[in-house]
Amino acid sequence: MDTESELTLKRLEVREEILALKEQIPLIQILNRLGKAFRPNSLGYWIANIVLLNSILLIPWTLLGLGLKEIQRTGPVSVASIVCIELVILGLIAAYLALHIMLEDLRDGIAEKVSNAHDVSELLLWLKKTWSRQSVSAFALPFCLIWTLLGVGGMSLILQQFVGFGLTLTVILVGLLAGLLFYVPVWASFMIVSLKNYRYEVNAISPADSEIVSNISNMMMKGIYILAAVFAVITLVATSNLVNQQLRVTFALPMLLFFWIVIITQFLLTRSTLSAIINRAKWTTLNKIQMRINTMEATGDLSDKDTAERLLRLADLHQQIMMSKLSTLDLKSFSTLFTQLMLPLLGLLLGNLDKLSKLLP
């Protein structure tokens, strides 16, 4: 089998495997099972998921709370707890959509541009490894433990007594789902870093203008926009009157700064990966030209007009590629980043309209 045929077969294999992988991701499996009575991504599918997730998370708290007479003691933290549950459900939906977008872009716009069969195999192996149950559990279970300790401990401290077994069970279930949710942006960060390890079909003269560079940039831009939109909703709700005023004052600014750090980090990781891909492609072409120049210089007659002209053309081409841009940073990318950063800030401002109105004349 020749190299081109092997590459074509590997690309087909990756397309099929990514389609199968989407059905094996725990977060997607949960939502698909809850909404299995409806067509995926239909209105009924999402309504079923929202209703059933709320039922699964709230029923233990309600039943055990009533049975053990714990409901009344959890009153002061009930609103904040319900808000947290709804935000996690919103995050799960957003993570589901982001995963579908990224996996489809990986399948159609990135795997198709990998230039050799070995790298295609490595990409597929990385995807399978990072979405194995062992990898997801290694993140989600410790996350759930920390979530439970902080959640139950913090609420017990507010109440000056144990929150009760009902709410504790709800916190554990929410923590498991939150672990699956937060694994998605962590995975996306590692994914964008791993993409720099593969070789792609690029524009040899101007690698920065290659389709693969645009595909990776667009994929991550869509993912960051979804992330920023979720952060905006979280900021809006967490800084509104639904949350205790002391908590709002204490956590509003740190939360906004944390969201900004996450968005900026994703942006910088993407730019770093694109720069690495462009730089490697650039030097691959430059080294080929340099070898041609050295070979002609060693074996040809430099006094010959044709030889000299070819050397000059190669030298000009070498200089042109050397001067081509290495980074994709431009005004458009910075304006996109600014828009993404403004979404959480907008949520903060909308959540505090009452305070802002008092400052206005």
pLDDT higher at 3 or 101: 101
In the predicted model, is pLDDT for residue 357 greater than 60? no
Count of C-beta atoms within a 10 Å radius of residue 49: 21
Report pLDDT digits (tens) over 2-59: 677 777 787 787 888 888 888 888 889 999 999 988 888 888 999 999 999 999 988 8
Q: What is the mean pLDDT of residues 152-178?
A: 85
Instruction: Name the most confidently modeled range: 115-124, 173-182, 335-344.
Output: 173-182
- Check: CB of residue 223 under 8 Å from CB of residue 98: yes
β-pair partners for 55: none
pTM of the model: 0.84
Q: Which of 75-79, 118-122, 149-153, 164-168 has the lowest mean pLDDT?
A: 75-79
Give the helix ranges, DSSP H, for 24-116: 26-34, 43-67, 75-105
Q: Which sequence spans correspond to the domains of the chain? A: 1-190, 202-361
Residue with tokens 């030097």: 283
CA pair distance 110, 217, nearest whole angstrom: 11
In the predicted model, is pLDDT for residue 65 greater than 80? no
pLDDT higher at 325 or 189: 189
Residues 6+ apart with CB under 8 A from 125: none
Tell me what pLDDT residue 176 has.
93
Report pLDDT digits (tens) over 137-163: 999 999 999 999 988 888 788 778 888
